[in-house]
Structure 1
């Protein structure tokens, strides 16, 4: 009974200590979860590879089989994507499997004397280059910054007068909200002439675009972007007119159908990612492909010259040789003159 009375306080004390420690830990975790998460710099190992991919497990004619030669700048983090598209890697995968080939390529990178341990800053994406394996490009509107005396940039900065807002660098005249701000609506180049634009035709201000639209940059928008249907938008037909700084970089491949020379603006459309012209200004007609306006008549150099006098004399001479009558000769000459006039009116021939 005495033993029980001694042990009980000890057990209760230990339990109280455990409960107190657990409460403190839970409280710490709650506070930690509410704190802002600072993105750490990304670490990677990159190198310009120039080596054979040797499969030592497969012996052929007394030698290890060589799947092929790798001449590419590659980082360890990109190996999973690389082996999906590289022919040499795919050959090796068919023989050894993905895991072993991944390990082989990682070994080539780490064992290469030219490999570099790279630190990529926030907003920086690796673009491995043989002369600088740790090369990166800045996204989200940020610009690369090189410290004085350094050969290469080491961070992505947001230069003045632009400001940062929710992970974006740009101009935010209305302040920074709690979500990714919407860039200004793109203004038509014809806005100074009072042309009304449908401001609701694009979805702007979303971090992702619908599957049927493409993320395009905004001209002069300093990192702004918009969702554009490049299959039907006549100002960005077939692609973006301005590359976007959001996501994967795509060059400007679009065409502004409204800028086609001599085309009637109201008759221009973008059909299936191609400009279509249905009407042109006076003196021009749509081309055979309906993607441009061409002159109505051909140039004088393209016309076929017709000597009416020589043709008439030839008809008369032939008719007399066969004993033709005067009215028949006159009718033939009239037919020739009529055909020539039609051709001349259509821009096909020219009388001498």
Structure 2
């Protein structure tokens, strides 16, 4: 898909020539007004064409930030459609989800739809069923995640983890995002948690780091000072190359 903030949108299977690709004007990849943003999507939806000149179902539409978000939202539906919002930023799109029996016949298949019409897509019943299964699995995983988080909060205050104390059966509450000796996780396992968990790191034992010259920031060890023969590289002390 190629989209221009001036309102032109095109769907095609032909990739852009490498020489035509330019860098965005900022770290968000914003394109100049005279350029198109190219997006590659992997989806079971197939393009049908442009909708008639008027919004096919304005009462069923909502806003999304990208076509990919629209396809994800419509994963359990037989049809999906999106359209740019007139006069809005290029990340503001209308999205329409509809069952297969709600027929929105395309006006044409030119792959260039304006503000007043939708890009219409459809996929098979099998793909819709697969989308239902994926959504149910996501909901199940989210439920398990919330239950684990709830159990963790029952043991310790918020943002802290119940870490096992070795050979005692007890636990202590640790902020693994900043704890020097249990950085990124519990050194001896999390109390009441499953086996699959991230093990912490004792930052004070980092090779080449000066005693007291290490910290734990955002669950990662970071060396601030290194011993002789080492030099810091992205928070890690690296040995210097030996000279003859």
Note whether the superposition's TM-score is higher than 0.5.
no
| More relative contact order, 1 or 2 (CA 8 Å, 6+ apart) | 2
TM class by shorter chain equals 0.3 to 0.5
TM-score calculated relative to the size of structure 2: 0.37
Over alpha carbons, which structure has the higher Rg?
A: 1
TM-score calculated relative to the size of structure 1: 0.27
